[in-house]
């Protein structure tokens, strides 16, 4: 009898999880397939977003999944900053645009679909690290966790290094970097644009020839 109750409880939990999934992933739950693998295979880099604000509760869950990533010696030498302020994003974009005037980089701002330097995302997650031989790998694993968690919650993401290297770590971005208040000894490494997707990009071909087994 006890085992029956446990099985019933697990079933109810599973049903609740499936009911909370985006419609695009509902079929996987209905077919009892592997939800983790389904999410990995369905994730895409999104560059078109709806104007719908993201609920802070969803962002909380995404970044919490991030800090549960594997990392060397569990040192957790990373920091996360989440920017939801449209004013901050717009001001950063205008500053970057002004700095790019008269250079080849100016062309990107003439694209009709351009909204901001974070691939048009309405919110941005910055990941910083205390530089060492292992922290870039740690932060990559963190970013992967966040992007998969976001996908499972119906959000789209795009992982970027360019806004950090060409803007945030340059003189034009100094005040914006300061406003993120990373701890002493930490520096930004990459960022993730996040929001409700307004596109469903097709998967790009993957080269399976890179996979070799040593037997």
Looking at residue 87, what DSSP letter applies? H
Name the CA dihedral angle for 44, 49, 53, 56, rounded to a multiple of 10 degrees.
20
What pLDDT digit, counting tens, does each position of 49-97 carry?
Answer: 999 999 999 999 999 999 999 999 999 999 999 999 999 999 999 999 9
State pTM to two decimals: 0.86
Instruction: Check residue 176 and give its pLDDT.
Output: 98
* For residues 19-40, average pLDDT: 72
Strand (E) positions, the chain? 78-83, 123-129, 156-160, 187-195
The full set of domains in the chain, from first to last, is 1-42 (no CATH), 45-200 (3.40.109.10)
Distances (CA, A) of 71 to 52, 77, 146: 33, 9, 14
User: Residue 18 — very low, low, confident or very high, per pLDDT cuts 50/70/90?
Assistant: low
What pLDDT digit, counting tens, does each position of 80-92 carry?
Answer: 999 999 999 999 9
Sequence-ordered list of residues with C-beta below 8 angstroms from that of 148, at least 6 positions apart, any chain: 36, 39, 40, 43, 65
* For residues 114-129, average pLDDT: 97
Smallest CA-to-CA distance from 187 within 165, 157, 162, 172 is with 165
């Amino acid at each position: 009898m006890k085992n029956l109750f446990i099985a019933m409880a697990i079933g109810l939990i599973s049903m609740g999880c499936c009911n909370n999934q985006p419609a695009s992933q509902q079929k996987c739950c209905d077919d009892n397939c592997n939800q983790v693998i389904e999410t990995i295979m369905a994730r895409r880099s999104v560059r078109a977003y709806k104007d719908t604000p993201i609920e802070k509760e969803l962002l909380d869950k995404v970044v919490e999944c991030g800090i549960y990533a594997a990392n060397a010696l569990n040192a957790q030498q990373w920091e996360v900053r989440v920017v939801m302020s449209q004013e901050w994003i717009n001001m950063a974009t205008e500053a970057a645009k002004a700095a790019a005037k008269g250079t080849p980089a100016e062309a990107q701002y003439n694209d009709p679909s351009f909204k901001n330097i974070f691939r048009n995302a309405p919110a941005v997650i910055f990941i910083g690290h205390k530089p060492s031989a292992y922290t870039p790998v740690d932060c990559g694993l963190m970013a992967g966790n966040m992007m998969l968690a976001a996908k499972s919650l119906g959000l789209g993401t795009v992982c970027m290094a360019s806004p950090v290297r060409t803007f945030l770590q340059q003189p034009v971005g100094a005040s914006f970097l300061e406003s993120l208040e990373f701890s002493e000894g930490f520096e930004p490494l990459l960022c993730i644009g996040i929001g409700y997707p307004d596109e469903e990009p097709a998967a790009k071909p993957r080269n399976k020839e890179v996979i070799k087994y040593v037997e």
